[in-house]
A = this chain, B = another copy of it.
Amino acid sequence: MNHAQLKAFHAVAREGGFTAAARAQGVSQPTLTVQVRALEDSYKVELFHRRGRRVVLTRAGEELFSITRRLFQLEREAEEFLRAEGKLLRGQVRIAADGPFHALPLIRAIRRELPGLEVVVSVGNSAAVVRAVLNYEAEFGFLSEYAMDNRFAVLAAAHHRIVLMMPSGHPWAGRSSVDINELGGQPMILREKGSSTRRNFESALKEAGVTANIVLEIGSREAVREAVAGGLGLGVVQEPELGEDARIAAAAIEGAALQATELTVCLEERRHSPLMRRLTQLAGTLSG
């Protein structure tokens, strides 16, 4: 049994004749005659009754036809899938990010430029992002420069100011900036040790010779925000993560290079794949 034979049989069965099937398939009529004949001969099965200039499916032919109908339906399906996948008309892009905020511009760009692509975002800490990208579980990773790995290729880098968060009733609320030296002894609420924002902030304090009073360590951005809103202390956050909370006031921190760098990465080896070539254009335009 042969694919050409099955295809010939299917076409003749569908069109109800060899000549009609040949026209429909864009091949010559003898091609179909020979292929169908070969199929019948090799299995010693009659598939068509040749009734003069008409052909009619035998019972066995009908049964085979019911199989080939499903078979060639699946073949069409495979081809449509490949065609769409190649043109990025459909498919899936998976993004692993260490925070929902940084990935938003890329997501918006994909939604706008390639609306057929489904975007799946998984949020986790830096280690989870690294693992996801290395394990082919995500095409794109968003992570801070501290978590960078040489197996990645950097597609874009975004620099975000790190700003001070205060309760809106705080004496400093309303000020546009606070000097880093003013933070000495202030009650601070920070995230866990692995957080790049925290690492960034602490090295800036050290460089300025300031000692902060860390009153609370909480494992998530949202928890820090709630603790600050509740008056437990001051927090630091990357500016895009600030949000629009009325209970929170913000101010720039002066006297230190307090800036976090967020990288958009993909696997180095996948950098030049068709999917990536198209998508990195989008990612590239975001950093400029």
Among the 9-residue stretches A81-89, A105-113, A173-181, the one with 4 or more Cβ atoms under 8 Å from chain B is A81-89
A78 to B64, CA, bound (A): 6
Residues from chain B with a CB closer than 8 A to the CB of A58 are: 136
Given A92-B59, A94-B59; A43-B74 close (CB under 8 Å)? no
Given A59-B94, A136-B56; A67-B45 close (CB under 8 Å)? no
Q: How far is the CB of A12 from chain B (nearest CB, A)?
A: 15
Interface string of A69-81 (1 = CB under 8 A from B): 0110011011101
Name the interface residues of A180-217: CB closer than 8 Å to any CB of B: none
A91 to B46, CA, bound (A): 12
Count chain A residues whose beta carbon lies closer than 8 angstroms to a beta carbon of B.
38
Given A74-B74, A92-B59, A136-B58; A67-B46 close (CB under 8 Å)? no
Interface string of A1-43 (1 = CB under 8 A from B): 1010010000000000000000000000000000000010001
Interface centre among A45, A273, A275 (most CB of B within 10 A): A45
Name the interface residues of A271-286: CB closer than 8 Å to any CB of B: 273-275
Q: Are the CB atoms of A71 and B78 closer together than 8 Å?
A: yes
- A68 in the interface, Cβ–Cβ < 8 Å? yes
Q: Are the CB atoms of B46 and A273 closer together than 8 Å?
A: yes
Q: How far is the CB of A136 from chain B (nearest CB, A)?
A: 6
Q: Are the CB atoms of A67 and B81 closer together than 8 Å?
A: yes
Q: Are the CB atoms of B275 and A46 closer together than 8 Å?
A: yes
Closest B residue to A49 using CB positions: B136
A58 to B224, CA, bound (A): 38
Name the interface residues of A47-62: CB closer than 8 Å to any CB of B: 49, 56, 58-60
A204 to B70, CA, bound (A): 59
18 A-B residue contacts at CB 8 Å?
A1-B75, A3-B3, A43-B82, A43-B86, A44-B274, A45-B85, A46-B273, A46-B275, A49-B269, A58-B136, A59-B91, A60-B91, A63-B85, A67-B74, A67-B77, A71-B71, A71-B75, A74-B74
List chain A positions with a Cβ less than 8 A from chain B. 1, 3, 6, 39, 43-46, 49, 56, 58-60, 63-64, 67-68, 70-71, 74-75, 77-79, 81-83, 85-86, 91-92, 94, 136, 269-270, 273-275
The 7 closest A-B pairs by CB, nearest first: A44-B274, A43-B86, A3-B3, A43-B82, A71-B74, A44-B86, A67-B78
